Amino acid sequence: MILDVIGPIIIGPSSSHTAGMVRLGRAFRCLFSEIPANRKALRKVEFRLNKSLFSSHKGHGTDRALVGGVIGYFEWQEEIRSSLEIARSLGIDIAFYSDSFEGRHPNTVMISGSSDTETHYLIGASTGGACIEITEIDGAPMNISGIYPTLIIKNLDTPGALSKIVEAISTKGMNISNLFLVRTNRLKNEATCIIELDNVPGNELLSFINRLDPVLYVAYLPIIANLSG
């Protein structure tokens, strides 16, 4: 859209190596259900950067950007510059590695990490002009760009699971803009459901879905590509 071509306001030096990376980091953070309430909940985070990204990550501030996002800052906040120091003071273990993601976007990064109770990973790319593309979360392939409020739901792969989830959403008068459902593990009988919404869901809806029988886990990704900085 026009707006992300004429903006946004960001901390430099690179909209793809810095700003987009802050957004990917922030998306990863949202996968942890306990984190919004507790900044210190994250214990350990590892970043695997596609080779060319890795070779330049220090001079680009990519490391500061990813960590800044993971600890909850936005791409226009000056704290990004000192995010490594802030993470250290929060006691979060951080590590960077070089990796190779063939057949994916050149600016692809994999973020994995854990809190005391949860472990998640995310693969995504910063595609330029601060735009992002998330291509995989916890074994589920997808293609989302963070422009909608998004629900990531892990559920049992049983008949009627999807209809229960969709019904809960429609009861709240909400409209679904896009929906993907993939089976992620036939042995464990698990599937992941990705739902992009037109409206921002309330906490009430999130905990209602969380309590549904077939639902194992719910993460809420607010609009990541938020231009209102």
Q: In the complex, which residues of this chain contact other proteins (CB under 8 A)?
A: 1-3, 5-19, 52, 55-56, 58-61, 64, 76, 78, 80-81, 106-107, 127-130, 227
Pairwise CA distance, residues 39 & 16, whole Å: 26
User: Least distance from C-beta 17 to other proteins, angstroms?
Assistant: 8
User: Least distance from C-beta 134 to other proteins, angstroms?
Assistant: 17
Nearer to other proteins, 130 or 144 (CB): 130
Residue 37, number of CB atoms within 10 A of its CB: 7
User: Least distance from C-beta 195 to other proteins, angstroms?
Assistant: 18
Residue 218, number of CB atoms within 10 A of its CB: 22
Nearer to other proteins, 11 or 193 (CB): 11
User: Least distance from C-beta 223 to other proteins, angstroms?
Assistant: 13
Nearer to other proteins, 36 or 59 (CB): 59
Residue 168 DSSP symbol: H
Q: Are 133 and 225 in contact (CB under 8 A)?
A: no
Q: Output the six-digit token pair for 43.
A: 């214990």
| Closest by CA position to 106, among listed 127, 137, 88 | 127
Nearer to other proteins, 59 or 141 (CB): 59
